[in-house]
Structure 1
């Protein structure tokens, strides 16, 4: 029995938890029990993850920046990372638009729109967005879990440590040790992951009744089809063809963060596991600790793909014809809005509002898909997390620093 336990790794346990969660959700739905009874067990997992995300990102980035010690290298990595995120986001929007044009998910649907009202949001200005990257108070940024401001300060702090050389060596060692401690804490938290995943999936399945899913089943199916296309057309060729990583190896190592992303609908929740898994595939810490947290903040491939699909869906429901120029506007606005909503609460809603306003789509259309948003968000978040790890691999390969995958031990043990 003990040998079986040793062979059963954490990703496998999470897979079992995922399957049991689906079964439990169906039982809850069939018996009429309130799915909220299992939700607290999932909330515990989310809270534990949120507890470690900010300190992990901070100490990892400081340690990585201090060891990098080359401002020119950071500049190259930054440009390559941002270029990748912009291009992959553009492709994602295009795929969403293409699928919607071909399969017409909203055509012929007669959904009740009376009384629907989308939550009002105010899109941020470009200048304020850029200024808000710089924290007025680094401790406030850490306390409020503002990842972008935390990244900015951590890189600044890390390079200052590097510039001081031997004088700052004791503090550098402290941050290296703190990074090791955070990895150990992450490992402990992840032992609860199978139970958290089980509870979260059970709540999602138990809450999503057939009456909610059926009218929008075509949209849901097409979202997942589009996500698979994005993976097969963009990520897998880059992972295998550019980075030279065996796909079986990649999927085996990345199973854990991808399962967390799918079940929690939170890129931040998957961030610790994504950092660990990406380094295990061969990406050095100074690259992964920059690209992964930055991607968690600004890379929105899944949301961008959904934007294209949702905009066309709403237009079709309301009988609005979107010209090629309008669809081109959606593509451009989705890319720009993804960057423009950095660090803004309810950023997905902000982005959708900006895009809908640009092409004169009714805001009530956003509320049409609210009932199944959780189901759609599972695919969106998984794409975002996979896109982050792919970016890290591509950037590391372009820098000539991609090492060999380490498969001797579990990702988090």
Structure 2
């Protein structure tokens, strides 16, 4: 019988085998460290081009500046608000419950934190790149993101004259996604090597800390889920219960596919037919959200940053938290629309405050399970903002919204 495993199943098998190999074949497991390092370097290799082209591609897909101005302002502000709340929630819970406390992992080399100004003034003065090529070469992620946003907005303004550049960006984005796809396919082997080495080096106790890490992530995602309902009640002035009930099919699909973009068509259909959202809002605001709004991913990036800082013994101050809120928000915007994409964007967030990327391998084995839950929160957030903006525009059909609550 020929059994073909899916990628996430292979990753789980790789993690399990890696744990067993590290426990019972310690000398051999320790020798696998170079393989894990090579895999992590492959992830680091695609971080900068992914940030640049994924953000550029997302912005340039918005071709109508007037439409973006009318509907986009409200949607963008609401999307950024939900994302920043998500990051803050993740950072707060991670600091309160400290999932990485008691687990210490030594670094193979000294890590140098980015220059600290300990002030917002310093941050704002250095966020604009004087040389974008230099920013890319040095991996200055904030400057790369600013350059990408500025370039993308300029392309929107010049309209059809920038068609060839937009086509080039689209082609480059597809190329980068293919490169990442190839790297992601190696994840089971990378996870096996990393987990084998980690267990051999630090013992099985590290797995106990992951259960606490999972609990913190799930708790933060639940808080965000409730917060979205509060937003519907306060800003949309509608009862959130019909929304939750009618979005259950979309949320189930998001859980199964771990992809907001794969769920997009179903979400648009259910918003229009079950919730009463207008065609204009469903066709513009929801795809915009799928491109720039990833609340679950933002929560995850924030918690992972604190978790890794705790296990590596890296102190963080207020300046670092400001950077984390900004980069986790931006990182969630640039997160690629495929399973495992957030693991790549995590490199941007961690490097922005001097946290080494080596810790990513520790959580790779459990990432798929958490990604299913993150995706459900992502698409729920997109749909929530779409409903709120449509209600603000006066185009939400409330008769449809409140219909058949008990029979859905």
Give your verdict on TM over 0.5.
yes
Match of 1:76 in 2: 70
The equivalent residue for 2:390 is 396
Q: Contact between 1:356 and 1:363, CA under 8 Å: does it hold in 2? A: yes
Residues 71, 331 of structure 1: alpha-carbon distance in 2 compared, 3 angstrom cutoff: closer
1:370 aligns with 2:390: no
Trace 1:13-412 onto structure 2 (pairs within 5 A).
Answer: 37=4, 39=6, 74-110=68-104, 124-128=144-148, 131=151, 136=164, 214-232=208-226, 234-279=227-272, 280-339=274-333, 348-404=342-398, 405=400
Deviation at residue 338 of structure 1 after TM alignment: 3.6
Q: 1:111 to 1:377 in 2, by over 3 A?
A: farther
In structure 2, relative to structure 1, the CA distance for the partners of 1:367 and 1:129 (3 Å cut) is: farther
- Structure 2 residues without counterparts, runs of 5 or longer: 10-60, 110-137, 156-162, 175-203
Deviations 1:166-189 (A, max 9, x none): xxxxxxxxxxxxxxxxxxxxxxxx
Counterpart-to-counterpart distance in 1, 2:86 and 2:275 = 25
**For residue 50 of structure 2, what is the aligned residue in structure 1?**
none
Deviation at 1:247, TM superposition (A): 3.1
Does the C-alpha gap of structure 1 residues 276 and 73 become closer, same or farther in structure 2, counting only changes over 3 Å?
Answer: same
Aligned residues of 2:258 and 2:338 also touching (Cα < 8 A): no
Could you give the per-residue CA deviations for residues 12-47 of structure 1, whole angstroms, max 9, x where no partner exists? xxxxxxxxxxxxxxxxxxxxx99x64649x9xxxxx
Between the two proteins, the alignment pairs up a number of residues equal to: 285
Instruction: Judge conservation of contact 1:129–1:340 (CA < 8 Å) in 2.
Output: no
By how many angstroms is 1:82 displaced? 0.8
How many Å apart are 1:401 and its aligned residue?
1.3
Cα pair 1:77 1:395 within 8 Å, conserved: yes
Residue 336 and residue 248 in structure 1: after superposition, are their counterparts in 2 closer, same or farther (change >3 A)? closer
> Which stretch of structure 1 is more off in the superposition, 137-146 or 272-281?
137-146
Q: SS at the partner of 2:300?
A: helix
Q: Normalised by the size of structure 1, how large is the TM-score?
A: 0.59
* Separation in 2, partners of 1:213, 1:263: 25
Cα 1:139–1:353 change in 2 (3 A) is: closer
Answer yes or no: is the 8 Å Cα contact 1:263–1:378 preserved in 2. yes
Show CA shifts across 1:314-365 (max 9, x none). 0111122212321222112222344456789975244322221121101102
Asked if the contact 1:240–1:246 (Cα under 8 Å) also holds between the matched residues in 2, the reply is yes
Q: Distance in 2 between matches of 1:138 and 1:329?
A: 30
| Contact 2:308 2:355 (C-alpha < 8 Å) held by counterparts | yes
Q: Displacement of 1:113 after TM fit?
A: 7.7
Structure 1, unaligned stretches of length 5 or more? 1-32, 43-60, 116-120, 147-210
Q: Matched residue of 1:320: which SS?
A: coil
Kindly indicate whether the alpha-carbon contact (under 8 Å) linking 1:213 and 1:372 is maintained by their aligned counterparts in 2. no
